[in-house]
Amino acid sequence: MNKQTVALTLSDIVCLSEKRRTILLLLGKKGHTIDEFTEKMNMTAHSLAPQLKTLRDEEIVILKDGMYELTNIGRVLVENMYPLFGTIDILEKDYRYWFSRNLSVIPADLMERIREIGSYKLLEYDISEYMFDVPAEFSDNFKKSKSAMCLLTVYHPVYTEM
């Protein structure tokens, strides 16, 4: 690591900058040119340059033939970032929902995989309104799905018919 710059820890590099985090996660899939970064991140090359310089100075990213790529250490970091930041993304999307629930009833092995939920839409309904009927939006989406996994806290006989 370059000792002439301000001493940054690896956690500082990964966690303290949303831009660096995004750059690293993009590089986890494949190498990128500066133009690809600017397009995918909707930013100017000028605003990305300091973040790319930091990643290069700290030997997490290399520039080879105009293409930014992860170093071996960069690959290790990014592979371990996916589970953490995937979990954070899920929990932050509907922060109030997740933190107002008693999640202790969910088995630990499922909680460890919460990031696998992926893209989701939270549907909340007044139970008194739908005591005997399934909300149309829910049943329509359920029928269109190629596959579904559900964790229900109540049983409703119509769920077995879908």
Q: Are residues 11 and 76 in the same domain?
A: yes
Looking at residue 151, its pLDDT comes to 62
Residues 30, 66: one domain? yes
Within this chain, do residues 138 and 111 fall inside the same structural domain, yes or no?
no
Q: Which two tokens stand for residue 69?
A: 């790529």
Residue after which a domain boundary falls, among 122, 138, 153: 122
- Residue 76 and residue 136 share a domain: no
Q: What is the pLDDT of residues 77-133, one digit of tens each?
A: 999 998 888 899 899 999 999 999 888 988 899 899 999 988 888 877 777 776 677
Same structural domain for residues 112 and 127?
no
Range of the domain at 138: 123-162
Nearest-5° Cα angle at 127, 124 to 132:
120
Answer yes or no: do 41 and 67 share one domain.
yes
Domain co-membership, 28 together with 101: yes
95 and 67 housed in the same domain: yes
Residues 44 and 106 in one domain: yes
Task: Calculate the average pLDDT of the chain.
Answer: 85
Q: What is the pLDDT of residue 63?
A: 95
Eight-class DSSP state of 101: S
Model pTM score: 0.63
Give me the number of domains the chain comprises.
2
The CATH number of whichever domain residue 64 belongs to comes to 1.10.10.10
Distances (CA, A) of 59 to 78, 124, 131, 152: 13, 46, 58, 47
State whether 22 and 52 are in the same domain.
yes
Question: Residue 37, class by beta-carbon neighbours within 10 Å (0-12 exposed, 13-18 middle, 19+ buried)?
Answer: buried
Q: What is the pLDDT of residue 73?
A: 94
Q: Is the pLDDT of residue 160 over 70?
A: no
Task: Write the pLDDT tens digit of every residue in 6-17.
Answer: 567 888 888 888
**Rounded to 10 degrees, what is the CA torsion of 87, 26, 73, 18?**
-60
> Do residue 86 and residue 115 come from a single domain?
yes
Do residues 10 and 24 share a domain? yes
